[in-house]
Amino acid sequence: MPHETAVPAHAVPQPATTPSNPYLRLLATPGARAFTAGNLLARLPMGMFSVSAVIMIAGAHGSYALAGAVTATGLAATAVVAPWTARLVDRHGQARIAVPATAVAVLGSLALVLCVHHDAPVWTLFAAYAATATTPNTGGMSRARWAHLHRGDPDALHIANSFEQAADELCFMLGPVLAASLCGALFPEAGTLTGALLLMTGVLIFAAQRATEPPVTPRTTAATPFRNPGMPALLLVFLATGAVFGSMEVVSIAHAGGAVLALQAAGSCAAGLVYGSLRPAGNVHRRLLFCLACMTALMSLPLLAASTTDALPVLAGCLLLAGAATAPTMVTGMTLVQRFTPAGQLNEGMTLAVTALLGGIAAGSAAGGWLVEHAGTATGYTAPMCAAGLALAVAATAHAARCRSA
């Protein structure tokens, strides 16, 4: 069967009555609903696997330290493997690489279940979970499709990036809840098994939508997108932003339990959707600085609430507000990644951003945990505020250097 050629959405005749809602207009793009459905199905397990692994391993071995070490090993392996997987996707196409890469990751998850269930040696847990590092960046592949379909239309890309960020927040908000519920209501392995099934099914549905798949770029000797001007500083911003997320998660769980943490994701999801419905104005670099400044200011609210009151509703409201700046920051950051990265390396560029984010989450989790243990949970909220300030400082320094060289 010959490969179908996707037609840019802005070149497709639009119906006489177009939806007024920008997200309905976005999903009216030919083929968009099908690949979005598959991608959301595949993305939901991203918020399930680590929680499921911790519950499963800790329950079998009675050690949260072991469970944390296994999941940390998987995160480190992902940081190494994910950019290479993304480069293969750019060179050979999403369908040809994503399906086998996902199959390897699913086999790694199934191997982990078997190793835990049959009390295999501890080292097998690390090896099995490390194999899941081949999981493709489904969010990045979806953003690459939007960038291909709406190339030359920055307004549509802004809406698409906002939609994708809201989808990320929703999946990471629902995934842990679903995983914990399955493991508790059924059996400890249920979360991992369900996540593996959803991941494989979602990727198969996503990969089957060949009409919207970006064209394969011929093999090139171009350097990694990391070396593109502006990219190193932007990745440092993503690293520091990841530290905001990682430290906030650990500190909030220690201070008030995991349920209240979902409010930050809810605030971010809502803010992302609102931000996407607004027409972007001004220079995108200045927009990023503004978003980072707002995030830094709002991250002081949980610290203020935890330091001055024991009222959980107050902290919950502050976390909701604190989350309101994170999605706009991520949307604007991903827009810059797309601008700094050639079309033929888009998956790799966005995966580098996600890898930096994951590295920041790991560092932030460690810093937040250290502060909680040595200074208390209320003081622990200084970690996300300082990480946000660091992201702002890096972006401001890079912007100043860019202005001087212009």
Q: Where are the domains of the chain?
A: 32-160+175-218, 225-406
Residue 223: per-residue pLDDT: 67
- For 339, phi then psi, to 5°, come to -75, -35
Quote the radius of gyration of the chain (alpha carbons, Å): 21
Residue 194: per-residue pLDDT: 95
Topology agreement, domain 32-160+175-218 and domain 225-406: yes
- What is the architecture of the domain spanning 32-160+175-218? Up-down Bundle (1.20)
| pTM for this predicted structure | 0.81
CATH superfamily, domain 225-406, is MFS general substrate transporter like domains (1.20.1250.20)
pLDDT in tens, the chain (406 residues): 444 444 454 544 444 466 778 899 899 889 899 999 999 999 999 888 887 888 888 888 887 778 878 888 888 888 889 999 998 998 899 999 999 999 999 999 999 999 999 989 999 999 999 999 999 999 999 999 999 899 888 888 899 999 998 888 888 778 877 888 898 889 989 999 999 999 999 999 999 999 999 988 766 656 678 878 889 999 999 999 999 988 887 788 788 866 676 777 888 888 888 998 888 777 899 999 999 999 999 999 999 999 999 898 999 999 999 988 898 999 999 999 988 888 778 888 888 998 899 888 878 877 888 888 889 889 999 999 999 999 999 999 999 998 888 6
